[in-house]
Amino acid sequence: MSNSSLSSLPSTDRPEAAARLRDALIDAAFTADGLLDLLGAPAYAALARSEIVPALRATRGDSPLAALVRLFLLQQPVPHARVADVLPVDACVDSGWLVRVGGDELAATVDVRPYGGPGGEDWFIVSDLGCAVGGAGGIGSREEGVVLGVGGASTTLAGITVRTPVTSALDLGTGSGIQALHAARHATRVTATDVNPRALHITALTLALSGAPAADLREGSLFEPVRDDETYDLIVSNPPFVISPGARLTYRDGGMGGDDLCRTLVQQAGERLNEGGYAQFLANWQHVEGEDWQDRLRSWVPRGCDAWIVQREVQDVTQYAELWLRDAGDHRGDTAGYQARYDAWLDEFEARKVRAVGFGWITLRRAGAAETEPTITVEEWPHPVEQPLGDTVRAHFERVDYLREHDDAALLAAHFQLVAETVQEQVGLPGAEDPEHVVLRQNRGMRRATKVDTVGAGFAGVCDGTLSAGRILDAIAQLVGEDPVALRDRTPAQIRLMVEQGFLEPAR
């Protein structure tokens, strides 16, 4: 990306202009809540599908907010007089946020989208024109260095990130800067990197317009911009994880063969983490013929790290190719060209014996003592979950520590309580004396469901922290006429599973 391409963006050397623009946007209710009030739910939802006609209809009025929506979200030229009523026009033009067009109109140079922060903050995500999800054109740009706004992947990563206060955070492949913006709430220092200098510039704009502290911005791929002696308490990345033949689009195509970019990112993260630090990524991975996908991912985990890997979705290679060809807008062009690109994707997958592609989350946590045996959990969970999940992720690793420190004897001596909002379901034929099986189901976090036997259900049901696990099992043994020693021998595995999955927690 040449420096000349950066000249088309607002200046990062005019922080006072960004501050004045921010104040004006908030005063005009150009916020997530303000948009919903102005547009109404149907038009607001249509923007998320990149359909702008309902929003155009809703902004026919002459209110300041309607003018801002047309200017920054719908990329429509707006008469100078209307803009001057709500924005400091001269400052916005001088600093490059607006340009004069036509006879007496103004146009935005970037897409600005209101974004509600987790603490009720009024934030703004900057992206290239037509490339904010919910902006005028949606995604689909074929320009190599285009910088996208907020999409589902961005918000997913922001939602699963552990949000404990930290000294240092690294946003790898920052894009429009949403992860750096979130990290600025709980990290003393934020470093953001990207191979695309345009993305770094736009990240600076996002932070400035959102009123967040500036980040340390560095150009380069993966961990290249990070010095050898630098480590972090938190690393996050929504990398260009698309597995494609070649690297046409910087924002999504990794440029390495197959899933090598994601593997390299995960493997190199371990040595960059401080003790107890987290590294959290979104990733794609190949399902290769004759290979267990879970074993493939276990091999990625660096030494000295616990890991929790969740596969959220799997697509066969045809679905995957079609998804990303449409993302680039190839289906709207020359039919022969589209078919040739489709064929090239399938050739690449066939050469690598790839039958499907998985998508999901990878979380690493740097373990403490060197002699600690890391715990690696790889699972498939395509079902709905509750966002944000950061506390759930942190609690998972706390349970990992607890179970690692407690053998079966210690579990039987411990006191547990059933986690709040856990319900029990009994499945069986109508009128049957006993259920065929019992299911425990969570209504929070991962919203898991797990089958337990009648002993496990009875045990969980009376766990209120009063009695030790062993005492509860002795009582159950007496009730059902079973040998208490045998019950104590066989039940710890089930207790361990219920703790691991978050149905039971140690009593405080």
For the stretch 10-24, pLDDT in tens is 999 999 999 999 999
Q: Mean pLDDT across the stretch 346-362?
A: 97
Given a contact cutoff of 8 angstroms between Cβ atoms, the answer to whether 195 and 219 are in contact is: yes
Question: pLDDT tens-digit profile of 390-418?
Answer: 999 999 999 999 999 999 999 999 999 99
Given a contact cutoff of 8 angstroms between Cβ atoms, the answer to whether 277 and 394 are in contact is: no
Q: Is the pTM of this model over 0.85?
A: yes
pLDDT value for 134: 42
pLDDT value for 290: 97
Tell me 84's DSSP state.
H
| Start-to-end C-alpha separation, the chain | 55
Given a cut of 80, whether residue 302 has pLDDT beyond it is: yes
For the stretch 177-196, what's the b/e string if a residue is b when 16 or more beta carbons lie within 10 angstroms of its beta carbon?
bbbbbbbbebbebbbbbbbb
3-state secondary structure 476-499: HHHHHCCCHHHHHHHCHHHHHHHH
pLDDT value for 369: 62
pLDDT cut 90: percent of the chain above it: 83
pLDDT value for 371: 66
The residue type of 264 is T
Question: pLDDT tens-digit profile of 225-241?
Answer: 999 999 999 999 999 89
How confident is residue 133, by pLDDT bands cut at 50, 70 and 90? Answer: low
Residues in a beta bridge with 107 = 99
Task: Tell me how far apart the alpha carbons of residues 447 and 190 are, in angstroms, rounded to a whole number.
Answer: 32
Determine the distance from the C-alpha atom of residue 268 to the mean position of all C-alpha atoms in its chain, rounded to a whole number: 20
**pLDDT higher at 84 or 144:** 84
Q: Mean pLDDT across the stretch 21-36?
A: 97
159-163, 367-371, 482-486: lowest mean pLDDT where?
A: 367-371
Q: Mean pLDDT across the stretch 475-494?
A: 96
Residues across the chain: 508
Nearest residue to 266 via CA among 317, 300, 236? 300
Q: Structure tokens of 122?
A: 């009024």
How confident is residue 429, by pLDDT bands cut at 50, 70 and 90? Answer: confident
Given a cut of 70, whether residue 206 has pLDDT beyond it is: yes
pLDDT value for 248: 73
Task: Tell me how far apart the alpha carbons of residues 155 and 150 are, in angstroms, rounded to a whole number.
Answer: 7
Residue 75 neighbours by CB under 8 Å, 6+ apart: 107, 108, 111, 129, 130, 135, 136
pLDDT value for 6: 83
For residue 360, CA distances in Å to 21, 368, 381, 455 come to 37, 26, 9, 34
pLDDT value for 370: 60
Interhelix angle for 152-160 vs 390-405, to 10°?
A: 40
Task: Tell me how far apart the alpha carbons of residues 39 and 51 are, in angstroms, rounded to a whole number.
Answer: 13
Task: Tell me how far apart the alpha carbons of residues 214 and 208 are, in angstroms, rounded to a whole number.
Answer: 7
Q: Structure tokens of 414?
A: 């411990």
pLDDT cut 70: percent of the chain above it: 96
Task: Tell me how far apart the alpha carbons of residues 247 and 327 are, in angstroms, rounded to a whole number.
Answer: 14
How confident is residue 256, by pLDDT bands cut at 50, 70 and 90? Answer: confident
How confident is residue 251, by pLDDT bands cut at 50, 70 and 90? Answer: confident
Nearest residue to 225 via CA among 182, 256, 268? 268
Tell me 332's DSSP state.
G
Given a cut of 50, whether residue 489 has pLDDT beyond it is: yes
**pLDDT higher at 179 or 245:** 179
Residue 219 DSSP SS3: strand
DSSP character string of 259-298: THHHHHHHHHHGGGEEEEEEEEEEEEEEEETTS-HHHHHH
pLDDT value for 7: 76
How confident is residue 287, by pLDDT bands cut at 50, 70 and 90? Answer: very high
Nearest residue to 191 via CA among 204, 172, 211? 172
Task: Tell me how far apart the alpha carbons of residues 379 and 11 are, in angstroms, rounded to a whole number.
Answer: 46
As a whole number of Å, the CA-based R_g of the chain is 26
Residue 158 neighbours by CB under 8 Å, 6+ apart: 178, 179, 182, 388
Nearest residue to 35 via CA among 152, 129, 134? 134
Phi-psi region of 140 (alpha: psi -120 to 50; beta: other; left: phi over 0): left
Task: Tell me how far apart the alpha carbons of residues 489 and 205 are, in angstroms, rounded to a whole number.
Answer: 61
Task: Tell me how far apart the alpha carbons of residues 383 and 377 are, in angstroms, rounded to a whole number.
Answer: 17
Q: What is the mean pLDDT of the chain?
A: 93
How confident is residue 1, by pLDDT bands cut at 50, 70 and 90? Answer: very low
Given a contact cutoff of 8 angstroms between Cβ atoms, the answer to whether 245 and 178 are in contact is: no
